[in-house]
Homo-oligomer: A and B are copies of this chain.
Amino acid sequence: MELTNPDYWKSLINIGFTKILVLKVLSCGPNHGYGILRELKSITDGCCVPTFGSIYPILKELTKHGYVEVKEDKQLKGAQKRRVYTLTEQGLKAYETAVEAWRSTIPYIYKAIENNELIFLEDIKTRLSNKSNK
């Protein structure tokens, strides 16, 4: 418990963040464990990259509870056989639930880390669309 070490906090944050990231990647198309990790490395600039020790158990659980469907892929080139995961309708619903949970929490995260006024996502989205309309 070394609270002045950023890694401690990163790890703590990732507990809540890894699973929605996996669902996010799968919502963009079928993928396999190793590929999901590569994708995560890319879209988070290496900021939120779980280990294999967490990614594979997550995929196993998602499969077991019907959030994804798995299919063996005998690829023509490259190494090992792959296990490709596809998001089910239930899985998409789970992703949307997660998005809502995060959306409702983020204003309070701002309140905890910024001294500014409370910022709501709706507000941010309005500003963004104003910007793109210019």
Binding site for B on A (CB under 8 A): 1, 3-6, 8-10, 12-17, 19-21, 24, 43-45, 47-48, 61, 65, 67, 90-91, 93-94, 97-106, 108-109, 111-114, 116-117, 119, 121, 124-125, 127-128
Are A14 and B16 in contact (CB-based, < 8 A)? yes
Given A1-B61, A93-B4, check contact A112 B21 (CB 8 Å).
yes
Q: How many copies does the complex hold?
A: 2
A97 to chain B, nearest CB (A): 5
**Pick from B13, B19, B45: contact of A101, CB under 8 Å:** B13
A109 touches B98 (CB 8 A): no
Ordered by A's residue number, 7 sampled pairs between the chains whose C-beta atoms are within 8 Å are A1-B61, A9-B16, A13-B16, A13-B101, A17-B109, A106-B106, A114-B125
